[in-house]
């Protein structure tokens, strides 16, 4: 049996700059917070021994006392280094490779565990190492680049002809999507800052705000010669749909949006680009197919009403180019929804939910980041052509929404449990009250398609659900 995780990130740096950090294994904790200590005995070379200790307060001391030394099993200067750690009945292999591509370097991390206990050790030893890979890469970029503001390297030229001097500020940037986008921009040599209520250790510059009204942060942003705004602020939709919770959901979105809009009116120049997050839930519960030209129901209750208020709050923003992303469910290995669904499926609850015929609008996280870059006027990815996303509403969804029964079939295959017990709507609503979630997230039918992105020439890497699940299984 094996457990494996592979992830890659392109960084706008030559391979030798990244190698200078990677070959010094003692610097591993500087870019991966899950590692508390690492060292190689003598120079790093094939066959050298070393030790690493997780930073976890319980697993770290246990690993320090019981784990044998790792061995450098491969060492190709400037290209690849592998660390092989013995485990009971098997081993753990951690490999980093560098491949120069498109004026930068593709960094790939592979973690593989084999042996009879590989699945158990994958959860305790493997998962912490691979968790928050995007933020790891942002830290690695900062270490490998010359000192510069907000982690950007001095004088880096961008492939759209500009420089790293323009600032992208992200509200709600400590969440899953915010971290992915911020890390991708940092690795592209761009300046990024997060608006946050509670600054904490992070690879990104952080600007304090209360998310409710203009303050010192407003003046700080107004001083930028070129500014783009990304607004992802809002608490998770995954809570019971009581009137109190719906009010909380709307306030957590409209208050930060209104604060940003009010602040923008005081700036000397408009924001160059403004990406406003929204959700396909605005279309309500319907089997009808919706694209951006289809008016959403004006009186749909619940989550649809929350999203209507959210979108209305951005009216009047001082921006030359504003896009409103009606985003579907974002699929990625570390996404909160995947964690919830896989836990249920592993316990045998991976059958169709409700009728199983309700539509599920989704997008892979990598495609969401690429679409977000395009909305900010950037190439979708290194080596890819520019896609000009127009102002206005954009359905950030795969072109192929699927029905719930297909989603659950892929999920069962993903977790390796071939049989799943169906959950009738009544049972699901009863269980949701115990699980403190909103059953409408699973039972409502939303069939949104991305007409604007397709007409703009945007190409999806993961247009089909099967491909998205294959990537998550890598």
Cα separation, 107 vs 147, in Å, equals: 20
> What's the pLDDT at 427?
85
The fold of the 149-473 domain, in CATH, is Rossmann fold (3.40.50)
Does residue 60 have a pLDDT over 60?
A: yes
Task: List C-alpha distances in Å: 259 to 208, 264, 301, 327, 446.
Answer: 13, 9, 25, 22, 30
Task: List C-alpha distances in Å: 283 to 83, 279, 326, 353.
Answer: 50, 9, 10, 20
pLDDT tens for 225-251 read: 999 999 999 998 888 889 999 999 999
Burial class (CB in 10 A: 0-12, 13-18, 19+), 80: middle
pLDDT tens for 352-384 read: 999 999 999 999 999 999 999 999 999 999 888
Sign, Cα dihedral of 390, 391, 396, 397 = negative
Task: Work out the pLDDT band at 164, boundaries 50, 70, 90.
Answer: low
The fold of the 2-144 domain, in CATH, is Alpha-D-Glucose-1,6-Bisphosphate; Chain A, domain 4 (3.30.530)
> What's the pLDDT at 151?
39
Number of Cβ within a 10 Å radius of residue 182: 29
Task: Work out the pLDDT band at 147, boundaries 50, 70, 90.
Answer: low
* Contact between 133 and 15 (Cβ < 8 Å): no
Task: Give me the DSSP letters along 295-312.
Answer: PPPSS--THHHHHHHHHH
Give the domain ranges of the chain.
Answer: 2-144, 149-473
pTM of the complete model:
0.94
pLDDT tens for 312-340 read: 999 999 999 999 999 999 999 999 888 88
pLDDT tens for 106-135 read: 999 999 999 999 999 998 999 999 999 999
The three-state secondary structure class of 134 is: helix
């Amino acid at each position: 049996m094996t457990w494996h995780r592979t992830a890659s990130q392109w960084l706008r740096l030559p391979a030798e700059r990244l190698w200078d950090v990677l070959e010094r294994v003692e610097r591993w904790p500087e870019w991966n917070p899950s590692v508390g200590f690492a060292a190689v005995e003598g120079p790093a070379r094939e066959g050298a021994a070393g030790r690493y200790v997780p930073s976890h307060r319980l697993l770290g001391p246990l690993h320090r006392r019981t784990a044998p030394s790792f061995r450098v099993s491969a060492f190709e200067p400037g290209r690849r280094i592998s660390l092989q750690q013995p485990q009971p009945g098997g081993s753990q292999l951690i490999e980093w490779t560098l491949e120069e591509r498109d004026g930068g370097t593709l960094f790939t991390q592979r973690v593989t565990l084999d042996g009879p206990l590989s699945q158990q050790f994958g959860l305790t030893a493997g998962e912490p190492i691979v968790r928050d890979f995007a933020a790891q890469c942002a830290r690695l970029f900062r270490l490998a680049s010359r000192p510069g503001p907000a982690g950007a390297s001095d004088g880096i030229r961008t492939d759209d002809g500009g420089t790293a001097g323009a600032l992208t500020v992200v509200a709600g940037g400590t969440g899953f999507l915010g971290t992915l986008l911020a890390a991708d921009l940092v690795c592209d040599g761009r300046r990024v800052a997060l608006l946050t209520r509670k600054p904490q250790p992070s690879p990104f510059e952080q600007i304090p705000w209360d998310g409710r009204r203009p303050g010192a942060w407003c003046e700080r942003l107004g001083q930028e010669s070129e500014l783009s705004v990304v607004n992802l602020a809002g608490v998770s939709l995954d809570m019971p749909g009581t009137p109190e919770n719906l009010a909380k959901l709307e306030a957590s979105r409209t208050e930060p949006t209104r604060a940003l809009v009010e602040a923008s009116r005081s700036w000397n120049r408009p924001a160059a680009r403004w990406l406003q997050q929204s959700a396909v839930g605005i279309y309500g519960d319907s089997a009808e197919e919706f694209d951006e030209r289809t008016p959403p129901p004006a009186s749909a209750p619940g989550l649809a009403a929350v999203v209507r208020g959210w979108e209305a709050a951005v009216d009047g923003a001082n921006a030359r180019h504003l896009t409103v992303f009606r985003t579907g469910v974002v699929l990625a290995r570390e996404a909160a929804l995947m964690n919830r669904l896989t836990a249920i499926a592993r316990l045998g609850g991976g059958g169709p939910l409700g009728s199983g015929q309700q539509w599920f609008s989704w997008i892979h996280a990598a495609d969401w980041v690429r679409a977000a870059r395009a909305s900010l006027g950037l190439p979708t990815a290194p080596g890819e052509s520019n896609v000009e996303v127009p102002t206005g509403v954009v359905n950030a969804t795969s072109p192929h929404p699927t029905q719930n029964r297909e989603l659950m079939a892929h999920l069962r295959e993903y977790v390796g449990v071939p049989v799943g017990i169906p959950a009738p709507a009544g049972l699901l609503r009863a269980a949701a009250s115990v699980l403190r979630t909103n059953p409408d997230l699973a039972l409502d039918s939303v069939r949104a398609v991305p007409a604007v992105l397709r007409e703009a020439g945007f190409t999806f890497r993961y247009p089909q659900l099967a491909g998205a699940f294959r990537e998550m299984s890598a």
